Amino acid sequence: MTLVIAAAAPFHGHVQPVLTVTADLVRRGHEVVVLTGGRFAEDVRAVGALHVALPPEADFDDRKLDLYFPERAALPPGPAQLSYDLKHIFGDPTAAQYRALTTLLARRFPASVVIGDPYFWGATALSLSAAPGHRPVTVSLGITLPTLLSEDAPPIGFGLPPLVGEDAKKRHREMNDQVREVFADTQRHIEENFGESGVELPGFFLDTLVTAPDHYLQLTVPGFEYPRADLPRSFRFVGPLPATPPRPQPLPDWWGEVESARRPVVVVTQGSFDNRDLGRLVRPAVDALAGEDVLVVAATGRADGPAEIRAAGPVPANARIGGYVPLDALLPYASVLVTNGGYGGVHEALRHGVPLVVGGDGEDKPEVAARVEWSGAGRDLRTGRPSPEAVRDAVRTVLAEPGHRRRAAELQGEFERHDALAAIAEVVEWA
């Protein structure tokens, strides 16, 4: 049995992957403490682990970011908002996270392994605080795109695939310099955050997130990530985590139409978090496909989502609107998924071999969309507010061109050749 601390920033999308790993480690006989936000205590206990709440200065409710971070609401999606998030949402809690982690290790739970999401920077500080062998083994779960700068690919933020040609490496290095310049003030702020823990950042913070832990386990496959020859030896592709079993939800009364559909089923969703404004993608997609010979299923992810869609105008005859419709139940029937590009949702579609049309902005979504198109598994709409015409053209293309479904199926096969939970357990058991 190994003692493990699993740490996650208090966001649903960060906590759930950590809980999936925690549940598997508990099943294998390991003892796990989860250090994360207070609102997740019941979820932690449900997987058989002990919950320890973050201190108040590092805890918040991700459903109410505007309450905790009121200045953020005035910033547009893009570099300004991203810089704010890196400084204040992820950076400022670093020292409090580090103190909570080291206190837990010293006084209550002397774990030999600490597993964290890449944005729980208290764990990054722990990695930098002492040499391996003088602290627990640290493992970072790549729950989103790797941030490491490379001369083989553009940095995150440009939404571009790798450039080609003789000067590609040079142009990538120039983009890297631009990113360092844009985030120079952010770098200084984060250095101060780490300094409060007595830790010095060894270089650019986006590099350090990947290079600092003893093991960086990227939760995807090489076929979905830009190739880089300069990855550190600690970096490893382990494939995506299995889907989290959904809480039981009654299926809508029109579900039989999905099961018996003789025409393509197009599933539309903005995920379970970025769905406050369904006019960004769901409603345009429903309108776009009104005249197409498809069955459109809009999974709004909100109990009041169907009412919002109907309030925006008549629902086309070929559309069915749901609230909490489990994606894993829908995807076996889907011919295309139209989505705003959450990393987990895209991987869930590819796990089922479903090609995608992606329209998202903010956070990592433009980068995820770019990888969907680069991998050949779908189309990138290059905006979070696409026109109905753009959505219709992209869906028609994905349905008509078999190459997209073929690439999605190939990635599905690549997923099946990886076992992320087994790879993580191996690291834990060898620690």
Domain CATH number, residue 229: 3.40.50.2000
Q: What is the mean pLDDT of the chain?
A: 94
What does the pLDDT read at residue 246?
63
- Identify the band that residue 349 occupies on the pLDDT scale cut at 50, 70 and 90: very high
Q: Are residues 201 and 314 in the same domain?
A: no
Q: Are residues 228 and 267 in the same domain?
A: no
pLDDT in tens, 23-48: 999 999 999 999 999 999 999 999 99
Please identify which residue in the block is written with the tokens 């400022």. Answer: 92
Distance separating alpha carbons of residues 210 and 374, to the nearest angstrom:
23
Pull the structure tokens for residue 216.
């960086």
Query: Is residue 342 included in any domain, yes or no?
Result: yes
Q: Are residues 333 and 405 in the same domain?
A: yes
pLDDT in tens, 49-89: 999 999 999 999 998 998 999 999 898 877 888 899 999 99
Q: Are residues 268 and 395 in the same domain?
A: yes
Q: What total number of domains does the chain contain?
A: 2
Q: Are residues 18 and 164 in the same domain?
A: yes
- Least confident range from 202-206, 275-279, 306-310, 395-399: namely 275-279
Distance separating alpha carbons of residues 174 and 168, to the nearest angstrom:
10
- Identify the band that residue 279 occupies on the pLDDT scale cut at 50, 70 and 90: confident
Q: Are residues 224 and 83 in the same domain?
A: yes
CA 11 from chain centre, in angstroms, equals: 11
Q: Over 80: is that where the pLDDT of 295 sits? A: yes
Q: Are residues 285 and 229 in the same domain?
A: no
Q: Are residues 167 and 201 in the same domain?
A: yes
CA distances (Å), origin 376, targets 60, 223, 411: 38, 10, 10
Q: Are residues 232 and 295 in the same domain?
A: no
Do residues 21 and 7 lie in contact, with contact meaning Cβ atoms separated by under 8 Å?
Answer: no
**End position of a domain, from candidates 204, 237, 270:** 237
Distance separating alpha carbons of residues 268 and 284, to the nearest angstrom:
10
Q: Are residues 29 and 98 in the same domain?
A: yes
Residue 300 DSSP label: -
**End position of a domain, from candidates 237, 270, 291:** 237
pLDDT in tens, 83-132: 999 999 999 999 999 999 999 999 999 999 999 999 999 999 999 999 99
pTM: 0.93
**End position of a domain, from candidates 237, 263, 287:** 237
Q: Are residues 209 and 290 in the same domain?
A: no
Query: Is residue 277 included in any domain, yes or no?
Result: yes
pLDDT in tens, 9-20: 999 999 999 999
List the domain range (segments joined by +) for residue 12. 3-237
Mean per-residue pLDDT, 150-156: 95
Q: Are residues 259 and 199 in the same domain?
A: no
Query: Is residue 242 included in any domain, yes or no?
Result: no
Query: Is residue 247 included in any domain, yes or no?
Result: no
